[in-house]
Structure 1
Amino acid sequence: MSKLVPDQADGLRRLLAQSSARVIAIAAMERRQGATTAAMNLGAALAHMGKDVLLMDEHKAGANSVCAAWSVDPLGTLADVASKRLTCEGAAAQTECGVNVLPALPGGQPDYTDPRLFWDGGVVLIDASLDSAGHLSPLARMADELVVVLQPNPTSITATYSGIKRLHYAHALRQLRLLVNGVADPEAARRLMANLIDTGSRYLAVSMQPAGWVRADPHLQDARRLRRTVVEAFPASPAAVDFRVIGAGVAQWPWRPAARPKDAEPTPWRPDALAPQQGQEERQSRVHSSGHH
């Protein structure tokens, strides 16, 4: 009976939603964690499942951007769509696997530009870029879900927890999902996520849920060289299997209320706000970095 009530509430939110599009922001708290690769592969996995996928890229054009990695050249940007100079379909470039790619550099369009207004149905993925203060863009803050990508090493774990704490105080962030990348031992990844989930709940009152993990796989580099995702190029590889599992799980994620545009101005984060807990958090972070409960 306890499961029936959340299911009914979830169904009611779907009925009341103005758009059936699910918006998911994917971000990392530091560079080189594989967030862009995760966004691309999750997009490919969802497209192969028959979903209409729009991938919005907040990063500057360059060798590591989504457009460069997929070797596509969109005709416009989110700013063009927001100003109605182009339709979303006209501005975006479609990849061979069916994912639509649209550059969305922060600051190029009004802060209240909601992708649900021009992408009704399917899934919108945002390859989110943190600003100089480590905050999310207004676009990313409109997402139904935030997926934080991290690596299973002490440096990444510490940076991820610090970044989540920063986002919590900047945006009143209360929920997110964790995706562990480059995993050698799935059981260790499970323990890592369990530890972070416990810490976030205990010290920040942030609800964290596992999105899944992706195994370390040399095919990822091979796919990158071919300008494709591992899901497209090597569908039987371990990483491709993991991305498809995560993609299948997206359909089971409960619908949550999206952030309102009026939340666009972040409140300042004061590092001294939780000074009495600092020692406890640092000890807890060291325990998690070592992989023990």
Structure 2
Amino acid sequence: MANFSIDQAEGLRRMLAGPKPRIVTLLSVLGTAEKNAMLTNLTASLAHLGTDAILVNARRSNGVGMHLGHARKHGLLEVAQQQCALNEVVQSMQQGFSFTSMVGGNVKSIHDNALDNNRLSNIFNVLAQQYGTVVVDAELDTEDRLPVAAMADGEIVVHITSSAESIKAGYCLIKRLNANLGRRSFGVLVTNADEAQAQLVYANLAKTASRYLAVPLHFMGSIPADDHVSRASRLGRSVIDAFPMALASVAFRRIAGQLGLS
């Protein structure tokens, strides 16, 4: 009887807490333009499938906000410091998703003040509960930490291409993540490669990570090189909206569908 009461109470707590938010943190080893285009189109693809998605810029520089034409004036940190309200730092984008930044102004590290970081984590959690999927443009700090703890509990995706330099950088990034977060799985997303090339890159990277780090990886998908992506960007639109039959659009919809189902 006691066990039944405990299980019942735990079930009630889960119902009151609501569904666990879907957080996808992307760590890219690629250049700013390619990273930003991929993030924008992936989030737009999630929104196109009916997911209430928000894209969060959590980088100190070269963040996706500049690509979208939104400099960081205020962000979630300023909300945590009670300088502004949450709805003041969230913007609706014409691509169909929402956008915000983790911090505004010229903040070098969000880990400098433990109290502020704890408040920021709380605000991020509140934000995440309001959306179906949170996509984060992130980077590790000098001590290999993610911006907030909730990101470590969600999906972490390493973004690479098929070049030898990119694969090496991706492995080094996985090694840093493993040293800080311990053994856990990471996703691998390959762009500028067809499916066969991407699968080969993933297989080799997964084999190396398993052998030397005991880290399991999983394949998130691939985006082929497609000039429709840059053409759509010049129009201020996502590729799935401007060119729905393009190869890149098909790939983005497939990856978004997998994220939405998992």
Does residue 1:186 correspond to 2:182, yes or no?
no
Query: Shift in Å at residue 174 of structure 1?
Result: 1.6
Could you say if the C-alpha distance between residues 232 and 155 of structure 1 is closer, same or farther in structure 2, counting changes exceeding 3 Å?
A: same
1:284 aligns to what?
Answer: none
Does 2:169 match 1:166? no
Decide whether aligned partners of structure 1 residues 30 and 218 sit closer, same or farther in structure 2, where only a CA change above 3 A counts: closer
Larger helix share, 1 or 2: 2
Amino acid of the residue matched to residue 88 of structure 1? Answer: L
Query: 1:43 — aligned with what?
Result: 43
Question: In the TM superposition, what is the alpha-carbon distance from 1:80 to its structure 2 partner?
Answer: 2.5
Tell me, yes or no, if structure 1 residue 225 matches structure 2 residue 234: yes
List runs of 5+ in structure 1 lacking aligned partners: 1-11, 254-293
| Secondary structure in structure 1 of the residue aligned to 2:141 | coil
Other-structure match for 2:76? 78
Q: Which residue of 1 aligns with 2:106?
A: none
TM-score normalised by structure 1 residue count: 0.72
Q: How does 1:108-147 map to 2 (within 5 A)?
A: 110-112=116-118, 113-114=121-122, 115-120=124-129, 121-132=131-142, 135-138=145-148, 141-147=151-157
Q: Structure 1 residue 34 and structure 2 residue 34: aligned?
A: yes
CA distance in 1, matches of 2:64, 2:16: 29
SS of the residue aligned with 1:119? helix
Return 5+ residue gaps in structure 2 as ranges.
1-10, 104-108
**2:187 alignment partner, one of 169, 177, 190:** 177
Aligned residue type for 2:235? L
Aligned-partner residue type, residue 57 of structure 1: N
> Secondary structure, in 3 states, of the residue corresponding to 2:257?
helix
Q: 3-state DSSP class of the match of 2:196?
A: helix
Distance 1:75 1:232, change over 3 A: farther
Task: State how many pairs are aligned.
Answer: 238
Alignment of 1:18 with 2:17, yes or no, is yes
- Structure 1 residue matching 2:117: 3-state secondary structure: coil
Whole-Å separation in 1 of the counterparts to 2:88 and 2:136 = 19
Counterpart residue number, 2:212: 203
CA distance in 1, matches of 2:261, 2:209: 22
Q: Does residue 66 of the first structure (1) align with residue 72 of the second (2)?
A: no
Give the Cα separation in 2 of the matches to 1:33 and 1:71. Answer: 13
For residue 110 of structure 2, the aligned residue among 91, 107, 112 is: 107
Give the Cα–Cα distance (whole angstroms) in 1 for the partners of residues 240 and 187 of structure 2: 21
Contact conserved, 1:182 with 1:216, CA < 8 A, in 2?
A: yes
Residue-by-residue CA offset, 1:248-288 (whole Å, 9 max, x unaligned): 001232xxxxxxxxxxxxxxxxxxxxxxxxxxxxxxxxxxx
Q: What's the counterpart of residue 162 of structure 2? A: 152
Measured against aligned partners, the alpha-carbon deviations of 1:85-119 in whole angstroms (never above 9, x if no partner) come to 44433311110132111111451883331422233
TM-score, structure 2 normalization = 0.79
Other structure's SS at 2:17 match: coil
In structure 1, distance between residues paired with 2:203 and 2:261: 20
How many Å apart are 1:195 and its aligned residue?
A: 1.9
